[in-house]
A and B are shown apart, each in its own frame.
Chain A
Amino acid sequence: MARREPSLFSRLIVLISLVLLAGAAALTTAAWYYAREAANDAYDRLLVGAAYQMAEALNVQGGTLTVELPVSAFELLASSERDRIFYKVVDPGGRTLTGYADLVTPESDAPAMASPAVLDGRFKGVDVRMTKVGRYFSDPSVQGRVDVVVAQTTEARTALARELTLRAVALVIAMSALALGGAVFAIRYALRPIGRVGAVLRDRDPHDVTLITVSTPRELRPFVSATNEFITRLKSRMDLMQQFIADAAHQIRTPLTALKAQLQLLSRQPMEPQALQYLTRVQERVDQLSRLAGQLLSHAMVNHRAGAVPLEPVDVVEIVRHAIREAVPEALDRDVLTSLELPPVPVTIAGDAISLKEAVKNVVDNAIRHGAPTQLTLRVRQELKTVEIEVEDDGPGIPPELWPQVTERFGTPSPDGSGLGLSIAADVLAAHGGSLSFRHADENGFAVIMSLPSETGPNS
């Protein structure tokens, strides 16, 4: 990702805007063209009408051609209020009878019967529309065609064309705005599944290797199926890795057990105090190693079960009893007073009993090993939406600044611990939709609280 790619949204919007802009420009041009045609057409009719009226006023009186230009012809043309009017009447001999002699007679090749052509022209330095109407006389004295040429400036035409165009442009703009707004809406709607897939991927638990099942439009399916393929491969890798770790831990435990037995035998031999001291240290290390192997096995098991075993209704109280029973032998070694404060009735949640027992065991183990000089208390509490298992001891506890680290694997390597205990508990709780938290009791005491969603909770 060297270069920031423009978003799909902005790409689409830019392209659609360009198309709309080009379309609007084309439509505006067309509108101007048609508006001018329409304006010309409307006013040209008046122009031709006025020319006909003027031609009508031609007369032969006493052998001479006379014309009495009707006021109505000018009034007709004056309906375009601001426009100037030029005209001339040319007799068959080509002499101008009246009007503007320097007005050019337009050469019209229209057939005699057709309506007169209206042409663009220039007169006195301004643009005009002009037409010519011919009238044939076959009087003995006047023979031939008398031309009436009428020209008019184009202000009213331009104003009308401009007004028509502006209205059309207003419509085009409104339509473009509507199209653009619609496009924004449509693109946002169409791109929403991408966000949905992204959210599903983002919100996944880091250990979740189940397939993505969110429904997507056809276009996104290759992307989702490629992701799922990747997840499948990842899952098989992880399974393989955990299997390997479990196998390795299991394989190591057997020689370790043998080793511990040999050490037991060896310790019964008389030996020098110095050697005895060494032997004791070796025994401690071997214990540590065997516990680590046990935790690794437990970790692998918990992780395996997290994805594979369906959650069933289990009694938390029962689980805690089992856990403490398995952990107590170690507690007894240290002469720690263990007390249980359990509700008299079963507290049922959806969970995996084996994993949960493993979690409680690890927390208790952790408390005995690092805290609890004299006392250990286990409580099970039913809260509104959660069930809390609290393990309290009277030891110094974990300083709050280390809380975020202790749930990470090997986050706090301790002299006689593996650093896996709390992380196993945290993983189990995460798999159940719960969480692990800590509390410093009022006096000399520290509690680890495991919250699990109760069966009626949203995640049950």
Chain B
Amino acid sequence: MNGLKFPLCRPTLLCLCLLWAVVQPSAGFTQGSPTPMFPALQTEQEVLSIHAATDRPAMEPLIRDFQLLNPNTRVEFVEYVTNDLFAAANKACQDGRPLGDVLLSSGVDQLVKLANDGCARSVDSPETQTVPRWANWRDEVFGFTFEPVVFVYNREKVPVEDVPKTHLEIADLLRLKPETYQGRVGTYDIRQSGIGYLLAFNDSQQTTTTYGRLLESLGRAQAVVRCCTGEILDEIEAGRLLIGYNMLASYAYARVRAGANLGLVMPADYTLVLSRGAMLLAEASNATAGARFISYLLSARGQTLAQREAFFFGFAGEGPTGLEGAASIVRTGIARPIAISPALLAVQDDERRRRFIADWSRSLVDMATR
């Protein structure tokens, strides 16, 4: 990570774009963003309040289906980015006041931390018993999706021989073809995105050497960092970026379904698998509806619908056809599910997080912005 070797010529536009990304604290949603309402299908008898750091379009079919089963429930849906949701929920929990009934977040480490601090309430139903052990902690935090973490690339602009198959290959690609990929690789800004931090942390836990090389390559290639998957995918679709690193397969596949010419790669060395977390809050004002909703998400009906409409993958690794390496990752043991367990507390340790992000920033952002 020697800055002197860094290539000096780079497009000004890209630099500005990067600066904007760094300066803008939260490019997506701000805290307590507009509350989309799902009015009750019949006479309203109760309100279920969901605070989520997961995109609404994915959740919408699930909520609507839930309302078919509970026609008297009005659902309130408040959107955040992961870190904001954690901050809001943590504050509410410390103050002992409710922040809705159910939290949905891909930042499962944050949910584990909240549950560890006693902010969660357990849900015990036949459905919650069907969840794999790694996706359930204390019957309080449940993983309800199975989302491989993939490389996404623009099929038009990235030639087949360039498509990286492993983490090491993407590092090598960036090092060997700097002229093509300089500033054209995107990934999460882990300072803003809880999920980006969680994925980067798990990368660092998998193989330290590969992670070091990858971080160095990303830094040299002046990788673009963004708060959210959506923005990176937008830019890859538009051709401004060529490769997205550590993207959630569900988001990317949704784009592919919508007609985008994107390619998804399940890394062949190891594929991290994130399970989006759901948690019932201890202070929930409508705990029964919350428990019902979580049970619904985990039920066969909810899972089938989610696999069809929202997240495209099931717990057994079943995925949409035509996706490179999808079904086999569980079978071949390449899948590395991020277990929902107290081990995630290490991820959430303030000091460790501060240092990890500092190292990351030094390698990636500082170098890129120099």
Contact = CB atoms under 8 A, between A and B. Distances in A.
A75 B343 contact: yes
Interface in B122-153: 137-138
A78 B355 CA distance: 24
B346 A69 contact: yes
B110 to A, nearest CB: 15
Label chain A's interface by main secondary structure.
mixed
A74 B351 contact: no
A71 B342 contact: no
A256 interface: no
B341 interface: yes
A343 interface: no
Given A124-B118, A126-B118, A74 B345 contact: yes
A219 interface: no
A73 B346 contact: yes
A82 interface: yes
B352 A69 contact: yes
Contacts of A124: 117-118
B286 interface: no
A71 B118 contact: no
Contacts of A77: 342
Interface string B344-370: 111101111001000000000000000
Contacts of A78: 341-343
Contact of A98 (B117, B138, B347, B350): B350
B116 interface: yes
B348 to A, nearest CB: 10
Given A71-B205, A124-B117, A125-B118, A84 B349 contact: no
B351 A69 contact: yes
Q: Which of B115, B341, B344 has the most CB of A within 10 A?
A: B341
Q: What range describes how many residues of B lie at the interface?
A: 10 to 19
A66 B138 contact: no
Contacts of B137: 81-82
Contacts of B118: 84, 124-126
A218 to B, nearest CB: 65
Interface class of chain B by DSSP: helix
A97 B351 contact: yes
A202 to B, nearest CB: 67
Contacts of A89: 351
A293 B346 CA distance: 120
Contacts of A99: 349-350
B17 to A, nearest CB: 33
B351 A85 contact: no
Nearest to A67: B351
Nearest to A83: B342
B342 A84 contact: yes
Contacts of A85: 116, 342, 345
Interface in A413-432: none
Contacts of A83: 342
Given A82-B138, A84-B116, A126-B118, A98 B342 contact: no
Contacts, number: 55
B351 A98 contact: yes
A194 B343 CA distance: 72
A332 B343 CA distance: 126
A81 B115 CA distance: 13
A67 B115 CA distance: 24
A211 to B, nearest CB: 78
A126 to B, nearest CB: 7
A188 to B, nearest CB: 51
A68 interface: yes
A68 B355 CA distance: 8
A74 B346 contact: yes
Contacts of B346: 69-71, 73-74
Interface hub of A67, A71, A86 (most chain B Cβ within 10 A): A71
Interface string A107-137: 0000000000000000011100000000000
Interface in B80-129: 115-118
Interface string B231-272: 000000000000000000000000000000000000000000
Interface string B205-236: 10000000000000000000000000000000
Contacts of A67: 351-352
Contacts of B116: 84-86
B352 A68 contact: yes
Interface in A426-445: none
A159 to B, nearest CB: 13
B109 to A, nearest CB: 11
Contacts of B350: 98-99
A78 to B, nearest CB: 4
Interface in A31-90: 66-71, 73-75, 77-78, 81-86, 89
A73 B346 CA distance: 8
Contact of A69 (B115, B205, B349): B349
Contacts of B345: 74, 85
A96 to B, nearest CB: 10
A74 B347 CA distance: 10
Nearest to B356: A68
Contacts of A82: 137-138
A307 B83 CA distance: 112
Contacts of A97: 351
Contacts of A84: 115-116, 118, 138, 342
A33 B101 CA distance: 40
Nearest to B202: A71
Contacts of B347: 71
A239 B130 CA distance: 94
A67 B355 CA distance: 9
A42 to B, nearest CB: 18
B200 to A, nearest CB: 14
Nearest to B344: A74
Residue in B118, B205, B345 with the greatest tally of chain A CB atoms within 10 Å: B345
A79 to B, nearest CB: 10
A95 to B, nearest CB: 12
Interface string A20-35: 0000000000000000
Contacts of A75: 341, 343
B352 A98 contact: yes
Nearest to A99: B349
Interface string B308-352: 000000000000000000000000000000000111111101111
A85 B355 CA distance: 21
A123 to B, nearest CB: 9
Nearest to A82: B138
A363 to B, nearest CB: 92
A83 B345 CA distance: 12
Nearest to A70: B346
Contacts of B138: 81-82, 84
A4 B133 CA distance: 65
15 contacts: A67-B352, A68-B352, A71-B343, A73-B346, A74-B343, A74-B345, A74-B346, A81-B138, A82-B137, A84-B115, A84-B138, A85-B345, A89-B351, A97-B351, A124-B117
Interface of A: 66-71, 73-75, 77-78, 81-86, 89, 97-99, 124-126
Given A66-B355, A78-B343, 12 more contacts: A67-B352, A68-B351, A69-B352, A71-B205, A74-B342, A74-B346, A78-B341, A81-B138, A81-B341, A84-B115, A84-B138, A98-B350
Q: Which 3 A-B pairs have the closest CB atoms?
A: A98-B351, A74-B343, A71-B346
